[in-house]
Chain A
Amino acid sequence: ILNVEQSPQSLHVQEGDSTNFTCSFPSSNFYALHWYRWETAKSPEALFVMTLNGDEKKKGRISATLNTKEGYSYLYIKGSQPEDSATYLCAPYSGAGSYQLTFGKGTKLSVIP
């Protein structure tokens, strides 16, 4: 089981603000990193799966970067909208014969109209 930390735990931003949060994970035995978006009363939905150091992925106003050497990933949201309000989970996968993702506790984003 990997040690995964997400920060901040929660944040509130005004509509239109851009924001970012961090996922930290062990840099050894890295294989892939997943990001999920989880709206209240719904189920998690995949945003990105990233595997290569320096990877950048983008989906609309949401983007993510990956640094496997130092063990962190950033998720950016440009021009936050109320519909971006959700908990964002990251989950590294170490490979090495394991079949488990280890989910972080998430960053809860609230976008104030």
Chain B
Amino acid sequence: NAGVTQTPKFRILKIGQSMTLQCTQDMNHNYMYWYRQDPGMGLKLIYYSVGAGITDKGEVPNGYNVSRSTTEDFPLRLELAAPSQTSVYFCASSTTSVSYEQYFGPGTRLTVT
């Protein structure tokens, strides 16, 4: 049982490039989330999903897109990378409700230069 896995661990992008951050969970959780962590700012929710085929915006969705074709996978897409997207990105999942604890992946450190 690997929990929540994320790839890659680190990535450097040039301005304007695109990339997909991968997130997979093997706990059969319905709810999945993408957060970014900026120094001194805490965790901000980018997008979330309450089940396969259902996604919605969080607090800071601009510049990102997501899809949820299976219960296990919740990739995050950056289309035109900007320096403001330099951050650490965490994927998380929980069972059936936001009232339940969230399990976090190890994070992806992204630098856009």
Contact = CB atoms under 8 A, between A and B. Distances in A.
Contacts of A101: 45, 98, 102
Interface residues of B, number: 24
B99 interface: yes
Nearest to B88: A43
Contacts of A49: 99-101
A58 B44 CA distance: 27
Contacts, number: 55
B75 interface: no
Given A32-B99, A44-B90, A51-B99, A1 B59 contact: yes
A106 B48 CA distance: 22
Interface of A: 1, 31-32, 34, 36, 42-46, 49, 51, 89, 93, 95, 98-101, 103-106
